[in-house]
């Protein structure tokens, strides 16, 4: 069994709609006792949507905390009791206006393990068909763009895409041979 910390004391300092922040006094596996800020999050799902033509559907989304717009794959927080794959299907429709026939599991990531319990389940979506986009009022998506897989993969490694879940999702899909990568065109957004 892997080592774990014992929580000695826990004090919730903020409860928001998406996460809870607590100060936890823990005894670490080496015996040291420390106070840690812990963000408790119910988890999320993120999707690499791929068209039949081999394009990845990317979003240009405003992110206040990041200071502006970012290129991202669709993603969202799990509703209470929701399974990650159900969340992936829901978020794909809400954010892109597309439905998927198939979701392929690309595994899980822990984006910020130093202070957050969040785990994001990644999927590749295929067999896309039109649906009605239904953005939440706080989702500001200025563009939904079909980007050739080779170009999206280049963006994931050259810094055009800085969102971690998007970089990992695209790179995992590429490494597993799930993307048809054509020769690079050399363009950037």
In this structure, what DSSP letter does residue 154 have?
A: H
Tally Cβ neighbours within 10 Å of residue 47: 29
Report whether 123 contacts 89 (CB < 8 A).
no
Main-chain dihedrals φ then ψ at residue 80, nearest 5 degrees = -55, 125
Provide the token pair at 31: 């015996």
CB proximity list for 63: less than 8 A, separation 6 or greater: 69, 70
Residue with tokens 């717009």: 69
**Residues that are catalytic:** 139
Q: Which residue's structure tokens are 């690309």? A: 106
Rounding to the nearest 10 degrees, give the CA dihedral for residues 127, 129, 135, 140. 70
**Strand pairing partners for 7?**
26
Question: For residue 48, which of 8, 110, 105, 87 has the smallest C-alpha distance?
Answer: 105
């Amino acid at each position: 069994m892997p080592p774990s910390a014992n929580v000695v004391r826990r004090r919730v300092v903020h409860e928001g709609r998406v996460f809870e922040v607590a100060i936890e006094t823990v005894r670490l596996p080496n015996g040291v006792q420390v106070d840690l800020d812990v963000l408790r999050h119910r988890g999320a799902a993120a999707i690499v949507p791929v068209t039949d033509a081999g394009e990845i559907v990317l979003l240009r989304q405003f992110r206040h905390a990041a200071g502006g717009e970012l290129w991202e794959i669709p993603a969202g927080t799990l509703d209470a009791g929701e399974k990650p794959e159900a969340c992936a299907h829901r978020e794909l429709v809400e954010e892109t206006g597309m439905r998927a026939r198939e979701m392929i599991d690309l595994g899980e990531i822990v984006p910020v393990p130093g202070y957050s319990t969040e785990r994001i389940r990644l999927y590749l979506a295929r067999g896309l068909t039109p649906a009605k986009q239904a953005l939440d009022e706080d989702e500001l998506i200025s563009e939904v763009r079909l980007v050739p897989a080779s170009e999206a993969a280049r963006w994931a490694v050259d810094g055009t895409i800085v969102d971690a879940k998007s970089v990992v999702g695209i790179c995992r899909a590429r490494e597993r041979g799930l993307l048809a990568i054509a020769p690079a065109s050399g363009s950037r957004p």
